[in-house]
């Protein structure tokens, strides 16, 4: 992870090959890291002294938890991250672990407060026999349990306290103490993060203006991400509605033509000759009207009461055609607006890519 670099592209490529991909993700949670507001904040190189990700400063140093952080899922609404820490076998042995090579330990991080929680296998407030019946047996079961719980305590998860020595080392980093590098390598990280100059650091964490600027940038990314999701939903819904409407118009047009053929066949003793084809013949009939059929047919047809309904339908064909034409025009405008919305969505997605790179 230390060589993955600060760019979103590098982080996403690393995530695809190294981070866990749960088979079941609870509602309200996601593993689409492109949509996570804290991706760069936690996993790119930190804006402080030394080239190391802020997630390592928190987990490996402040809480003195050894191993590589591998995210599992996040929640925007809760501003939380669920991740595991994978320890090499030798590290696990040193810390009294018995779960073997690549042991996975699941944690929950509040990305806003940086409070850290871990699964509590035997909470003191729950009878052990009752809890054993509901305790998760696998990481997948624990993930579902965490996702469904309203609070960490409901899982139950135990809030961890920062390590006293780790807190002191973290302060040495913030104080730009170069001698802290060897301590980090030997006791916390297993590698030596590169020392940085002030010019290389993104902003001064003690400067309120820089803090406000970073928060504003994060909020801008979040707002743009929400706008993109809303635009995508609108495009999908509009396309579906347009397809349904166009299908209905096609059905109406087919039905109108069929009725036109039937009325022409039943009311005219001879075919109407027209260079415009069947639709032209229907327009001729409609334009003349029932009272003028004598001029076309040669004599007014005898009508029964049922003929009155037929007469009305024939006379209404022109109105239906006009309605269909108006529907076609409306669909054309709707299609043009849809294409414009797609273009704006593409522009927002390009802007998003520029913000998170």
- Largest Cα separation within the chain, whole Å, is 112
Confidence (pTM): 0.51
213 versus 106: the higher-pLDDT residue is 106
The answer to whether 315 touches 286, Cβ cutoff 8 Å, is: yes
Q: What average pLDDT is seen over the chain?
A: 73
Q: Does the pLDDT of residue 326 top 70, yes or no? A: yes
109 has which bridge partners? 81, 116
Q: What is the mean pLDDT of residues 24-38?
A: 91
Q: What is the DSSP string of 115-156?
A: -EEEE-SS-TTS-HHHHHHH--SSHHHHHHHHHH-SSGGGTT
Band of residue 308 on the pLDDT scale cut at 50, 70, 90: very low
The answer to whether 39 touches 11, Cβ cutoff 8 Å, is: yes
Q: What is the mean pLDDT of residues 103-113?
A: 82
Kindly tell me the burial class for residue 283, based on how many C-beta atoms sit within 10 Å of its own C-beta (0-12, 13-18, 19 or more). middle
The answer to whether 109 touches 116, Cβ cutoff 8 Å, is: yes
Taking 3-state DSSP, the helix, strand and coil percentages for the chain, each rounded to the nearest 5, stand at 60, 10, 35
pLDDT in tens, 160-189: 999 999 999 999 998 889 999 999 999 999
Residue for token pair 């729950």: 126
Residues 149, 150, 153, 157, CA torsion sign = positive
Range of lowest pLDDT (134-148, 200-214, 261-275): 261-275
Residue 40 CB neighbours (<10 A): 21
């Amino acid at each position: 992870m230390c060589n993955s670099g600060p760019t979103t592209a590098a982080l996403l490529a690393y995530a695809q090959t190294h981070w866990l991909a749960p088979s079941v993700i609870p509602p309200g949670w996601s593993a689409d890291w492109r949509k996570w507001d804290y991706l760069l904040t936690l996993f790119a190189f930190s804006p402080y002294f030394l080239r190391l990700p802020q997630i390592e400063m928190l987990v490996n140093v402040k809480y003195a938890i050894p191993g590589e952080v591998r995210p599992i899922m996040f929640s925007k609404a809760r501003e939380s991250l669920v991740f595991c820490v994978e320890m090499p076998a030798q590290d696990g042995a040193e810390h009294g672990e018995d779960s073997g090579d690549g042991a996975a330990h699941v944690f929950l991080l509040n990305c806003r407060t940086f409070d850290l929680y871990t699964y509590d296998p035997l909470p003191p407030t729950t009878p052990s026999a009752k809890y054993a019946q509901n305790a998760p047996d696998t990481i997948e079961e624990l993930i579902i349990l965490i996702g469904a719980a309203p609070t960490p305590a409901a899982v139950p998860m135990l809030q961890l306290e920062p390590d006293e020595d780790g807190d002191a080392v973290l302060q040495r980093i913030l104080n730009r103490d170069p001698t802290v590098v060897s301590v980090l390598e030997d006791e916390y990280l297993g590698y030596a993060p590169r020392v940085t100059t002030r010019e290389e650091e993104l902003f001064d964490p003690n400067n309120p203006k820089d803090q406000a600027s970073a928060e504003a940038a994060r909020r801008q990314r979040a707002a743009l991400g929400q706008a993109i999701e809303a635009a995508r939903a609108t495009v999908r819904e509009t396309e579906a509605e347009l397809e349904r409407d166009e299908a209905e118009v096609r059905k109406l047009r087919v039905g109108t033509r069929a009725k036109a053929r039937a009325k022409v066949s039943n009311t005219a003793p001879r075919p109407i000759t027209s260079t415009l084809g069947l639709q032209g013949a229907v327009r001729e009939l409609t334009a003349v009207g029932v009272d003028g059929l004598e001029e076309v047919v040669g004599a007014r047809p005898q009508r029964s009461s049922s003929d009155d309904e037929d007469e009305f339908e024939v006379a209404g064909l022109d109105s239906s055609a006009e309605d269909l034409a108006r529907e076609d025009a409306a669909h054309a405008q709707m299609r043009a607006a849809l294409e414009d919305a797609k273009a704006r969505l593409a522009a927002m997605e390009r802007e998003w890519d520029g913000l998170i790179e």
